[in-house]
């Protein structure tokens, strides 16, 4: 009889709130959240981003204030992305290794404001610095060249670590960059700087608002399909993750998030490595658009998506909704 109706009624444990709480298998807390922030030039500047309603670029002083806000909300990490002034962008993205660039100034301002109460994750890729909007160096045919790009990414990563970055997050999808960056961090006195690799990053249509936010969208000709992954592929993601772990990644990321829950789940089943999801700009914008159009409730949609990431096996989620979610969780 056991296991069949009416001995077993799965609705029994769902009947009351206390019981649902008792039987809940997964939980989201502010400690699961990573808050991406966009840095812009100037002082006292806030620039709302039209395609990311509710998200702004902040000048370095504003970034320091957001860092204090993150600490107060219990968010453990912020992720930084610069909107490099257009006159500082170039074919080779040299501004990426300027020790006084926006990114480095923002890292230092955060560390001055909150010290080690907050982790700072920095993006390694050239797209916010190049005049062509690609993540690496391009040859005459427009192809993003791998090994030459890796050499530049290594300089970029060491530059960020020297400024005080805690987690280096390469989002460029070049082959071999995790190993090269790990070796450079070790050799330059940064043994405890982590690497969170964007291991399975797909060539996605969900990145549009982000490219507006870092000012690369209008510059980009063509696409990123010769380095970012084909959305049709899943086995290949396992190879990407295996390589990045072998090369020294401390944690891996799957990006975008919601459309790739199967990848998150498979990575978690197969590898004993912390996995993070990036709920990307297009995913954020879709929730905001649903709210604005009266199609759904922002808060409910958001919390349902966040718990889905946890259920799939994520250690945490990068989301532009991080401060809002943390406030909701605090009641």
3-state secondary structure (DSSP) of residue 90: strand
**In this complex, which beta carbon is closest to ligand PBG, that of residue 133 or of residue 164?**
133
Beta strands 56-59; 77-82: pairing state: unpaired
Q: Interacting stretch for ligand PBG, rule CB under 6 A, among 153-161, 203-211, 229-237, 268-276?
A: 203-211
95 binds ligand PBG (CB under 6 A): no
**In this complex, which beta carbon is closest to ligand PBG, that of residue 114 or of residue 306?**
306
Residues 5-44 binding ligand PBG (CB under 6 A) are: none
271-306 burial, b for 16+ CB within 10 Å, e for fewer?
A: bebbbbbbbbbbbbbbbbeebeeeeeebeebbbebb
Q: Interacting stretch for ligand PBG, rule CB under 6 A, among 24-32, 60-68, 178-186, 206-214?
A: 206-214
- Residues 232-240: contacts with CB under 8 Å, at least 24 apart: 234/262, 234/263, 234/266, 237/199, 237/200, 237/263, 237/266, 237/267, 238/266, 238/267, 238/270, 240/199, 240/200
**In this complex, which beta carbon is closest to ligand PBG, that of residue 63 or of residue 277?**
277
125 binds ligand PBG (CB under 6 A): yes
Nearest distance in Å: CB 127, ligand PBG: 5
**In this complex, which beta carbon is closest to ligand PBG, that of residue 80 or of residue 125?**
125
Q: Which of 32, 135, 166, 247 binds ligand PBG (CB under 6 A)?
A: 135
Nearest distance in Å: CB 2, ligand PBG: 48
Q: Which of 32, 123, 240, 244 binds ligand PBG (CB under 6 A)?
A: 123
Nearest distance in Å: CB 16, ligand PBG: 39
Nearest distance in Å: CB 37, ligand PBG: 12
Cα–Cα distance measured from residue 26 to residue 22, given in angstroms and rounded to the nearest whole number: 11
280 binds ligand PBG (CB under 6 A): yes
**In this complex, which beta carbon is closest to ligand PBG, that of residue 114 or of residue 134?**
134
By CB atoms closer than 10 A (0-12, 13-18, 19+), residue 20 is exposed
Point out the catalytic residue in the list 111, 201, 224, 310.
Answer: 201
Q: Which residues contact 198 (CB under 8 A, 6 or more apart)?
A: 169, 170, 171, 172, 173, 253, 255, 278
**Phi and psi at residue 83, in whole multiples of 5°?**
-100, 85
Q: Would you say the C-alpha torsion 196, 197, 202, 203 has a positive or negative sign?
A: positive
247 binds ligand PBG (CB under 6 A): no
201 is catalytic: yes
84 binds ligand PBG (CB under 6 A): no
Q: Would you say the C-alpha torsion 69, 106, 189, 185 has a positive or negative sign?
A: positive
* CA 87 centroid distance within chain: 26
Residues 146-175 binding ligand PBG (CB under 6 A) are: 171
221 is catalytic: no
Q: Interacting stretch for ligand PBG, rule CB under 6 A, among 67-75, 99-107, 145-153, 205-213?
A: 205-213
Nearest distance in Å: CB 163, ligand PBG: 19
Task: Specify whether the CB–CB gap between 212 and 51 falls below 8 A.
Answer: yes
Q: Which two tokens stand for residue 251?
A: 């944690």
3-state secondary structure (DSSP) of residue 315: coil
* Closest to 240 (Cα-Cα) out of 259, 258, 255: 255
Considering just the CA atoms, what is the radius of gyration of the chain in Å?
Answer: 20
Residue matched to tokens 């993601």: 237
Nearest distance in Å: CB 72, ligand PBG: 24
Nearest distance in Å: CB 269, ligand PBG: 26
Residues forming the site for ligand PBG (CB under 6 A): 123, 125, 127, 135, 171, 207, 210-211, 224, 280-281
Active site residues: 201, 255
């Amino acid at each position: 009889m056991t296991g069949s109706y009416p001995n077993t009624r799965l609705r029994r444990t769902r009947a009351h709130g206390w019981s649902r709480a008792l039987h809940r298998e997964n939980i989201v807390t502010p400690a699961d959240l990573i808050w991406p922030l966009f840095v812009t030039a100037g002082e006292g500047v806030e620039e709302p981003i039209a395609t990311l309603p509710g998200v702004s670029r902040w000048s370095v002083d504003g970034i320091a204030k957001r860092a204090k806000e993150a600490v107060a909300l219990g968010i453990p990490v912020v992720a930084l992305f610069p909107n490099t002034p257009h006159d500082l962008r170039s074919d080779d993205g040299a501004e990426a290794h300027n020790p006084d660039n926006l990114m480095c100034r923002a890292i230092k301002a955060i560390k001055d404001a909150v010290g080690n109460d907050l982790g700072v994750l920095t993006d390694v890729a050239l797209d916010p610095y190049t005049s062509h909007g690609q993540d690496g160096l391009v040859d005459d045919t427009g192809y993003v060249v791998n090994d030459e790009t890796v050499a530049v990414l290594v300089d970029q990563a060491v530059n960020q670590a020297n400024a005080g970055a805690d987690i280096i997050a390469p989002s460029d999808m070049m082959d071999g960059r995790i190993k090269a960056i790990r070796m450079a961090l070790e050799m330059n006195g940064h043994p405890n700087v982590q690497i969170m690799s964007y291991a399975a990053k797909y060539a996605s249509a969900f990145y549009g608002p982000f490219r507006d936010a870092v000012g690369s969208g209008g510059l980009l000709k063509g696409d990123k399909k010769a380095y970012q992954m084909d959305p049709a592929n899943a086995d290949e993601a396992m190879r990407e993750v295996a390589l990045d772990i072998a090369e020294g990644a401390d944690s891996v990321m799957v990006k975008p998030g919601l459309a790739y829950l199967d990848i998150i789940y498979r990575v978690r089943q197969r590898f004993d490595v912390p996995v993070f999801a990036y709920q990307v700009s297009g995913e954020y914008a879709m929730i905001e658009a649903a709210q604005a159009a009266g199609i759904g409730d922002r808060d409910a949609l958001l919390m349902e998506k966040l718990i889905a990431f946890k259920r799939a096996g994520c250690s945490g989620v990068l989301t532009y909704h991080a401060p809002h979610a943390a406030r909701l969780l605090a009641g």
